[in-house]
Each structure stands twice: as C-alpha cells, then as structure tokens.
Chain A
Amino acid sequence: MKVKVSNKVLVYLGVVAITIIFIFPIYWMILTSIKPNEAILRLPPQFIPKGATLNNYKNIMGDGKFVVFYKNNVIVSTVTTLVTLVLAVFASYAFSRFRFRGSRFLQMLFLSTQMFPAMTLLIALYNMYFKLGLLNTYTALVLACSTNALPMSVWILKGFFDTIPKSLEEAAYIDGSSKANTLFRVILPLIRPGIIAVGIYSFLISWEDFLWGLTLVNKTEMRTLASGIAMTYLGEYNYDWGRVMASAVTAAVPILIIFIFLQKYIISGLTAGAVKE
C-alpha cells in the first residue's frame, strides 16, 4: 500500500509536536536550575541560557539539609529494592511453580492490595508504628515502600518465571541439585531481565515516595527527598525558584540516568504483564 506524502508529513509533525510538548517541562526545569536568579524572574523568558551558573546547586549542597535528605533517600530506596526483590522472587516463583488450594485467590489478593487507599491504612499504621517505636526510622519507611512495590513486582516476575519450562528444573533435580540451588543457580540467571525490571521499578517507587516520608517521619535529620524538599524549600511564601529547581533536578537525575541506560528492561518488564493477560 502506498502512503500519501501529505499523510506522512502530518504523522511526523504530530509525533514531533507531542514529543516536544512532553519533553519541554523537563528542559525548562533543568534550564531554570542553572539560570541566575534575575534571569529566572525576567519576562520574556529566556529559552536558551545566557550565562549559566551552578550557584543554585552549591546553595542546596551547602545548606546541610539537602545532602541529608539525599542520603536518607538513597538508603531507604536501596534497602527497599533489595527487600522487594528477595520477597518478590520467592513469592512469584512459588506462584508460578506450585499449584495449591487458594493459589489464585492469594494472587488476586496480592494484586488487589493496590486498591486499598494508603491514606486509610496510614490511620492504623501510624498508631502501630508509634506503639512499636518505629516512627522516624528507616525500618518503617522500608516496610511501607516495600509494601507499595511488592504486588506489581510479584506480578511482573511471575510472568517471567512462567516462560521457563518446568523440564529445566526436573533435569536439574535429576542431576542431584537441591531445590534452592536450582532456583538460584539455574532459574534466576534465566530471568535476569525480569529481575532488572523489578529492581528498577521498586527503586523508582521508593525513590518517589512522598506520603510515608511526610507522615511516618517528623525529624528533619530522618526526612527523605520528596517530603524534605516540600517541607524545606516550599515552606516559605516567596520561593527561591532557582534553589527549588536545582533540588528538583538533583532528585530526578538518578532515575533519568537509570532509565536512559536500562530503558529496554523497564519497558519490556512493565508491558509484559499487561499484554499477556
């Protein structure tokens, strides 16, 4: 079939226009963060920087708070990722390999937990963590963030396990390999793309957490990035936009970099579940 040239031009124009609209806010954020203050407040806005500065970044790095928020966020997200990965690999392997009474019901229950309003759970969780003395701890944040990431992670990984034939394990068992050994040495290496996808997904979920960081923590030295930025740089009446944007860029950069290098794993991992069912 021949496609008319005018149609081709229209499709390309449409795609390019939408892409520019969606990318522009990111460009604008980065640009604002390196503008000197008087350039940020100028009309008409400068779309191409004149005289870039790193002052905003020096400002936030030197204020003694941002670095703390950042460190906390790295700790919480890294631990959450590890916890989620271990729990999700175990659970999804069991769901994929063993038929047992209530297996389907349990899987549905796992997925439907995403429906439970976090704000509602918070009412009970707050009291619980308070009584256990877990407010203002990494433990509380890791538990909360892992819970957020776990259901989807199990779902994604089960899809990957399902693609591996059972005969592979049977062969390994005949060779005298133990069950645990088979899982770790034979099966896991085969689903590496799935593990990478779930690792990135759970890192992203905990990296962007706002609600738990806001409510389960009230000490500045334990704040994580999102709630920290909101409480520190957005608290004043007149925002210092350069500083706010520098903190925003710094908060967004790790995920952007991860995505740029590993996007094929993220996209295939996220879409595998939706298309299969």
Chain B
Amino acid sequence: MNARKKTKINWFMIILLAPALMLLSITIVVPVVTVIGMSFMRYNLMDINNIAWNNFQNYKDVLQDAQFFATFGRTLTYVVSTVCIQFIIGLTVAMLLNTRWLRGQKIFRGLLFLPWTIPSLVVAVVWMFTFQPQYGIVNYLFQLGNYSMLGNPGTAMLSVVISAVWKQMPLMMIMLLSGLQTVPEDLKEAASIDGATGWQKFHAITIPFIMPVIKTVTLTSIVSNFQMFVLFFTMTGGGPVRVTTTLPLYTYETAFSGFNMGKGAAVGVCWLGFLVIFSTVYNKVLAAKEVQY
C-alpha cells in the first residue's frame, strides 16, 4: 500500500503547477527558443519570404558593429552608476532610520517609499519637467540659465540616472532596512565594550550580517536596470548623439525600426548570455563574503 502510494502520480500537485508553467512556457520559454533560432537566420521584415540560415552572419554583424560595443559600454555605465548610487543612498538612509532612538521611523519610511509607487512613465515626465531648460526647477536652483540637462551629451546620462535612482532607491532602502533590523544589538554592544570603533562594527558585523540581502537587492537591481527602456525612450530617445542609447533601445531600433529581426535577436542573445554568466559569478563572489551565525 505504502509503496504504491509513493509511485502514484500526484494529480493535485500537477493541477496546481500546470497553469503557471503553461503561461511561462508560452511567454518565456517558447520566445527564448524562437529568438535563439532567429538569431541564426536571415530574418528581415522587409524581405519576410526569404528567411534562411545565414552562417552566423548576424553574430558577425553584431561583433563587428562598433555601435554594439559602444552601446554595451553605455549600458554598463548606466547600470553601474544607478545601482551604486542607489545602494549608497539606500544604505545610508536605512542606517539612519535604523537608529534606535529615532522617532517617527515609520512615517519617514512611508514617505521615503512613495517614489517607488510612481509609475515609470510618470517618473520620466516629472523629471523632464524638473530638468526643463527654460522654467525647470533644477536650472533655477542651480543657476544653470538655459542649459539643457537632457539635451547635452555631458549631462543626459546623469539626468536619467538621477530619475532612475529617485524611483528605485526606496525599494533598495526598505530591503536593506529590514535586513539591518535582523542584526542583533547585543553583538554590536559586545563589540563596543571590546573597544570596536563605529567603522569596525559596520565593517565586521553589519555588512557580513546583511550580505544575503545586499546580494539579492543589488543583483535584482542590476538585472532590471539592464532592461530600463521607458526612461530612455521618453526622456532622451537615446540622444543626444546616441550618448543614452542603451541595449534595450539599440535592440528596439535594430529589430523594429531597422527591420533586421535576425540581428536584433543576436543582440538579445549576447545580452542574455552576458547576464546569465554575470549573475552566476556575482552570486559566487558575494556568497564567499557571507557569514553563518
């Protein structure tokens, strides 16, 4: 009886899992396989009846395209600066809010979380108005005259980074704060008694303790910022002189404006490959810095 029960198919479990698996198969697995297939094909929307194997031509095109590497570099600049800045601000705010004697912690936390609830397009619009050259508040406060933050190659990326940080910092801060709240006070007090300085406590107790949280939030943020499309599309359109053309915009242009679906697919596959390798390495490196109590 028992042996039979073990080999019996658990229909209840299958029924529970089937709908979610079906959705993800249709909208993720099938497209990923299709895109990988397309990346090896001559696939042009202007010449849709002539789809054929083209001997890695798309990949050759991508790897010989100086624009691709420039785009990749700009994407890295955007991702690294956005994640670093929001991590530093997020951790600082979280540590301030985690101060034991601070009153109104919940009110500050609630207020600081508000930007996260603002839809990304609205974020773009609000910051476009803030950076408006003639009557924008930033130009007024910093006496920039008619200087256009978004229209100038030197500051366009910075402006997008600022708006991205504004929207994303709250989530980072909330996660780090909840991590900080799990650091036992007595451990820090014991260290103080032993004569540890503030920096030593931070470095040797706090950081290792919240390392799992840091790992999760930064990796999530890196991966999702690689995908950032709406801010660039709305605020700069990739300009001026392409300084804000990042991978999503480049893929969009190649595949949909340039009608070269094959090359667009190849760009996407390189991008996906990079993220898979990167997140594996990132997890390994940071896992080494964790401590188990």
Whether chain B is bound by chain A comes out as yes
A128 touches B30 (CB 8 A): yes
| Minimum Cβ distance to chain A for residue B164 (Å) | 13
Across the interface, A29 reaches (CB within 8 A) one of B17, B112, B122, namely: B122
Q: Which residues of A contact B130 (CB under 8 A)?
A: 25, 28
Query: Which residues 56-88 in A have Cβ within 8 Å of B in the complex?
Result: 86-88
A11 touches B279 (CB 8 A): no
Query: Which residues 11-37 in A have Cβ within 8 Å of B in the complex?
Result: 11-12, 14-15, 18-19, 22-23, 25-26, 28-29, 32
Whether A210 contacts B230 in the complex (CB less than 8 A), given A45-B135, A87-B20, comes out as yes
Q: Which residues of B contact A15 (CB under 8 A)?
A: 93, 96-97, 102, 108
Tell yes or no: B204 within 8 A of A by CB: no
A244 touches B125 (CB 8 A): yes
CA distance A87 to B25 in the complex (A): 13
A11 touches B102 (CB 8 A): yes
A211 touches B30 (CB 8 A): no
CA distance A277 to B286 in the complex (A): 14
CA distance A23 to B113 in the complex (A): 9
A119 touches B268 (CB 8 A): yes
A110 touches B182 (CB 8 A): no
Whether A255 contacts B268 in the complex (CB less than 8 A), given A125-B31, A229-B125, comes out as no
Across the interface, B119 reaches (CB within 8 A) one of A26, A207, A245, namely: A207
CA distance A144 to B233 in the complex (A): 20
Tell yes or no: A230 within 8 A of B by CB: yes
B111 touches A143 (CB 8 A): no
Chain A's closest residue to B15 (CB) is: A90
Q: Give the contact-size bracket for chain A.
A: 35 or more
A123 touches B137 (CB 8 A): no
CA distance A245 to B130 in the complex (A): 11
Q: Which residues of B contact A110 (CB under 8 A)?
A: 20, 24
A255 touches B117 (CB 8 A): yes
B125 touches A267 (CB 8 A): no
CA distance A232 to B23 in the complex (A): 32
Tell yes or no: B56 within 8 A of A by CB: no
Across the interface, A251 reaches (CB within 8 A) one of B110, B121, B127, B256, namely: B121
Tell yes or no: A265 within 8 A of B by CB: no
Q: Which residues of B contact A267 (CB under 8 A)?
A: 109, 113, 174, 178
Tell yes or no: B34 within 8 A of A by CB: yes
B122 touches A252 (CB 8 A): yes
CA distance A41 to B97 in the complex (A): 38
Stretch in contact with the other chain, from B64-72, B77-85, B247-255: B247-255
A25 touches B115 (CB 8 A): yes
Tell yes or no: A146 within 8 A of B by CB: yes
A274 touches B31 (CB 8 A): no
Interface flags, A261-277, vs B, CB<8A=1, else 0: 00100010011011101
| Minimum Cβ distance to chain B for residue A172 (Å) | 14
Q: Which residues of A contact B216 (CB under 8 A)?
A: 273-274, 277
CA distance A94 to B104 in the complex (A): 40
| Minimum Cβ distance to chain B for residue A99 (Å) | 10
Q: Which residues of A contact B171 (CB under 8 A)?
A: 270
A147 touches B227 (CB 8 A): no
Interface flags, A132-161, vs B, CB<8A=1, else 0: 000000000001101100100010000000
| Minimum Cβ distance to chain B for residue A247 (Å) | 8
Q: Which residues of B contact A119 (CB under 8 A)?
A: 227, 229, 247-248, 251-252, 268
Whether A87 contacts B19 in the complex (CB less than 8 A), given A94-B13, A123-B38, A263-B113, comes out as yes
| Minimum Cβ distance to chain B for residue A213 (Å) | 9
Q: Which residues of A contact B38 (CB under 8 A)?
A: 123-124
| Minimum Cβ distance to chain A for residue B230 (Å) | 4
Q: Which residues of B contact A208 (CB under 8 A)?
A: 119-121
A230 touches B234 (CB 8 A): yes
CA distance A104 to B119 in the complex (A): 33
| Minimum Cβ distance to chain B for residue A91 (Å) | 4
A117 touches B268 (CB 8 A): yes
Q: Which residues of A contact B291 (CB under 8 A)?
A: none
Tell yes or no: B205 within 8 A of A by CB: no
B96 touches A11 (CB 8 A): yes
18 CB < 8 A contacts A-B: A14-B96, A15-B108, A23-B111, A43-B140, A94-B17, A98-B13, A100-B10, A121-B28, A123-B264, A124-B30, A150-B23, A150-B24, A208-B120, A215-B256, A226-B119, A256-B114, A260-B110, A263-B110
Beyond A120-B31, A226-B120, A274-B216, 20 extra complex contacts between A and B, CB < 8 Å: A11-B96, A22-B112, A45-B140, A90-B20, A94-B17, A117-B226, A118-B248, A119-B251, A122-B255, A124-B35, A143-B27, A211-B229, A234-B125, A256-B118, A258-B117, A259-B114, A267-B178, A270-B174, A274-B213, A277-B212
